[in-house]
């Protein structure tokens, strides 16, 4: 299965998502999106595949979100895409693309919706939270 993760190694949620992908035996294409941001057109296609709006991908914490006035509900998707293009940090992470769809994987276990379900092995996140139990059952997400 071909999987791409738009990743920030400084983010625990992103690290846990990457670990879950690898845990099921998939070595994804890892794109550090702050070093290699996706194009505006690619971000727009992700949003379309997710079935939401650009606002669903915006990150507030640790970004120029407030200074840019991005909380203004009258801003269009095109204006929000302009902001993400100019400031890639505004795109929330991790964003995962697989043949099963595109999702913002917050919390990290959401990535399991995009991966093969059979044969899950136990998995515990960095913080000790169990995501997949000893019987291969998802605990949350």
Q: Mind telling me the catalytic residues? A: 11
Pairing of strands 4-7, 29-32: parallel
Buried b (16+ CB within 10 A) or exposed e, 95-118: bbbbeeebbbbbebbbbbebbeee
DSSP assignment string, 40-82: HHHHHHHHHHHTS-GGGGB--TTSSTTTTTTT-TT--HHHHHH
Q: Please, are residues 55 and 45 in contact by the beta-carbon 8 Å criterion? A: no
Q: How far apart are CA 92 and CA 94, in angstroms?
A: 7
Q: How far apart are CA 106 and CA 57, in angstroms?
A: 11
């Amino acid at each position: 299965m071909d999987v791409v993760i738009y990743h920030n190694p400084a983010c625990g949620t992103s690290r846990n998502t990457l670990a879950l992908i690898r845990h099921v035996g998939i070595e994804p294409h890892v794109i550090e999106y702050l070093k290699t941001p996706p194009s505006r057109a690619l971000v727009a296609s992700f949003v379309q595949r997710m079935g939401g709006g650009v606002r669903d991908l915006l990150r507030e914490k640790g970004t120029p979100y407030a200074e840019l006035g991005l909380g203004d509900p009258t801003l269009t998707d095109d204006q929000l895409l302009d902001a993400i293009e100019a400031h890639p940090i505004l795109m929330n992470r991790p964003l995962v693309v697989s043949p099963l769809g595109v999702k913002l994987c917050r919390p990290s276990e959401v990535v399991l919706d995009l991966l093969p379900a059979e044969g899950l092995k136990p998995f515990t996140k960095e913080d000790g939270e169990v995501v997949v139990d000893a019987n291969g059952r998802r605990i949350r997400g």
